[in-house]
Amino acid sequence: MFDLSNRLLVAHKTIQTTDEITMRFFNLYSDIFITKGYNRILISDLGRNSSKLYPLELYELIAELKSTSIDRVLENYEPESKIIVQEYIDYLLEREYGFITKEDWDRNFSPLSYEYQDYQPISNLFIEVEKLTISETLIQSIANLGIKHLAVFCRSAASLQELISFDNAFENTPLEGMEITSAYTTELTKDSFALLQRQSQRIYHLQFYQCQEIPLLSNTESRFTLDFTKDTLAINSCGKVNVADFNTNMPKVLEAINHNSCLHKKLGIDVAGNIKNCPALPQSFGNIHEMTLEQVLRQGAIQQYWDMTKEEIMVCKDCEFRNVCTDCRAFTERSHTNKLGYDISKPLKCGYDPYSNEWSDWSLNPLKQQAIAYYGFKPLNGKK
Amino acid sequence: MILIISKNNEVTTTAVIKELIAMNKQFIRIHEDEVFDINTIKKRIVLTSHRNQFFLDEVSAVWYRRGAIEFNRMRYQNQSIDRYMFEVQHWLVEYVLKSLEGKKHINKQSNSHVNKLLVLEKAKEVGLDVPGYFLAEDMEDVIVNQTIVKPISGTPIIDDIKEQHNGIMYTSVIEQKSESDFFISFFQDKIEKDFEIRSFYLNKKIYSTAIISQNDEKTRIDHRRYNSEIPNRNVPYKLPAEVEHKIDLLMHSLDLNCGSLDFIKSADKFYFLEINAIGQFLGMSNACNYGLEREIAAYL
């Protein structure tokens, strides 16, 4: 592998002589998507669902190879750089990012459309509840909107019966999967989970907090995964930006290119019934006890952040990870707004600096302390 | 109202239906386990099964995906009457099927299962390049390592070949001559390929995908032998206009308005292999972001 620094030296351009030899051309596959950061690039292989970091100079080289033959490109470099260019080209071939043709590029390989299309008006709903129950009207709205994924944050401990009923309440709706985070009660034993396994259809992830003793480990044969933590969780535990959560897959990347990867087609309802884009956001667009989700969507205001791509967000717009990142609009550094007053600041819980390419603990960053205090997170050194 | 003739749990049908719902288009999906009665209500023909009922004249478009629409046939004690009524019912059923096929449609029940041998003859007639092929009951004319063998039938799958197992026949290169005779089989010249191309045809529009598997020995002969560690690369591709024109002629001559066509690109030639009118295409569609399920839903 290469180090991520730039090593290429461009030769002083001389009058180029056309050789009689057949020119070779490098064709980059259309599903190789390159995101240019301030110092580095991220090459995302959308066909193979993986991303890798490379030096910025590879970006320039790939750009050159799109408009010039390999042989001409090589002429532009000093002898020692030529070796590196050749090394890069070999590597691109080895990774199967592209292929070589003679005389011309293979122009029958057409570009990939970056359009993002999705039939559902809403993809995810995130609700915060005091007790694990759901109203008939809300179930009806979930069915009407064709919502496939539901995430639930329950502030009390859900019982086995509540978990089963909650799952079964979505019989004959398009809801395909749900994940539930709940406080833990010791009533939930190994046997309870075995029963839940048989009597539920949609739960694919369960997370329990305030659990002193783990009743069982998640096993791979189970339809749902299980997590237990001793900590007390709250809805503001969300929004962390981590490499582990970066995901290279075509729909997610296309969504990030065209829309806001945090909020597009998402709805949230907080514990008081306020309908929001995300339950952790302050702005409410109506209350579920007075309005339906469909009515709120028709007002057209809750969609305000849906099309805010990372190109608009401070710092993120220079970050090489921006098209595979999760973003977070609920907790930000609160440093910038655009003309319409929308928050275009970097996510607060991101510890990455695209200018230095270093990851650090976001919560210890002195520049973030004001925003951290604003959201009421535990301040630095535990002092108020 | 759109009529969809398909099978239970057929994923492409479900994907198209999601788009139809988003477009607010009414549809009825019928399955292989449904049998219809033909009746009349106030001079209108009505078709009824245990789970669906609709008037023939309210069907605006038909998508034949898979399976078939089946009808009940009355039997009669008197053999002469039974024979006669068999014919009466035959004409009635034919009228219903032809009426459905006369509506706006994507493919037809009556011709969606194509004969590979006839298709190859038609393909040659319209001027497509077709690798040399022959039928034989022995390997006398087979050149080892330069000839492939593949099934004559539409599906390569043999259901329940043994308990709990289905068999699948992949296209294979003949590496060793068999001495004995066998059932008449289809042999074809092996083409050294640059890559394969799968083209989806829908009403004169062609969406092609280059399937790059050359770097990987496992998938060299048949891309369905899928290697999940290093998957094939499937990227958008545009066939030359003259090849697209010939595809259009071929589809017309077969009276098909939808289907997948397989090609091999070898140097500057595009060799036509076969057509599958009812094959799966969503994998290619997703890889190339073609949104074909949406195109189908929009057409219906």
Q: Which residues of B touch A121 (CB under 8 A)?
A: 22
Please write down the long-range contacts of B256-259, taking CB distance under 8 Å and 24 or more positions apart. B256/B107, B256/B111, B256/B112, B256/B114, B256/B201, B257/B105, B257/B106, B257/B107, B257/B201, B257/B202, B257/B203, B258/B106, B258/B107, B258/B201, B258/B202, B258/B203, B258/B296, B259/B107, B259/B114, B259/B200, B259/B201
pLDDT in tens, A212-255: 888 877 776 788 889 899 988 887 777 777 777 788 889 999 99
pTM: 0.85
pLDDT at A121: 86
Q: How far apart (Å, rounded) are the C-alpha atoms in residues A381 and A369?
A: 11
pLDDT in tens, A7-17: 777 665 555 55
pLDDT band for position B235 (cuts 50, 70, 90): very high
pLDDT band for position B214 (cuts 50, 70, 90): low
Q: How far apart (Å, rounded) are the C-alpha atoms in residues A232 and A330?
A: 20
Interfacial residues of A (vs B; Cβ cutoff 8 Å):
29-31, 47-48, 96, 99, 108-115, 117, 119-121, 146, 250, 254
pLDDT at A235: 76
Mean pLDDT of A155-162: 94
Q: What is the mean pLDDT of chain A?
A: 88
Of B212, B235, B238, B285, which to mutate for an interface test with A (greatest number of A Cβ within 10 Å)? B235
Q: Decide if pLDDT at B262 tops 90.
A: yes
Which class in CATH covers the domain with range B113-130+191-290? alpha beta
Q: Which residues of B touch A119 (CB under 8 A)?
A: 18-19, 21-22, 294
Q: Decide if pLDDT at A368 tops 90.
A: no
Over B68-118, what HEC string results?
Answer: CCEECCCCCCCHHHHHHHHHHHHHHHHHHHHHHHHCEEECCCCCCCCCHHH
Provide the sign of the torsion angle of the four alpha carbons B227, B231, B237, B240, taken in this order: negative
Percentage, residues of chain B above pLDDT 70: 94
Query: Which residue ranges does chain B devote to CATH 3.30.470.20?
Result: 113-130+191-290
For residue A107, the chain B residue with the least C-alpha distance is B238
Whether residues B237 and A250 touch (CB distance < 8 A) is answered with no
Whether residues A146 and B18 touch (CB distance < 8 A) is answered with yes
Of A119, A145, A253, which to mutate for an interface test with B (greatest number of B Cβ within 10 Å)? A119
For residue B240, the chain A residue with the least C-alpha distance is A108
Topology (CATH) of B2-110: Rossmann fold (3.40.50)
Q: Which residues of A touch B19 (CB under 8 A)?
A: 119
Q: Decide if pLDDT at B117 tops 90.
A: yes
pLDDT in tens, A120-154: 889 899 999 999 999 999 999 998 888 989 999 99
pLDDT at B216: 55
- Higher per-residue pLDDT: B152 or A3: B152
Query: Which residue ranges does chain B devote to CATH 3.40.50?
Result: 2-110
Q: Which residues of B touch A96 (CB under 8 A)?
A: 212, 215, 230, 233
Whether residues B235 and A109 touch (CB distance < 8 A) is answered with yes
For residue A31, the chain B residue with the least C-alpha distance is B235
pLDDT in tens, A41-66: 999 999 999 999 999 999 999 999 99
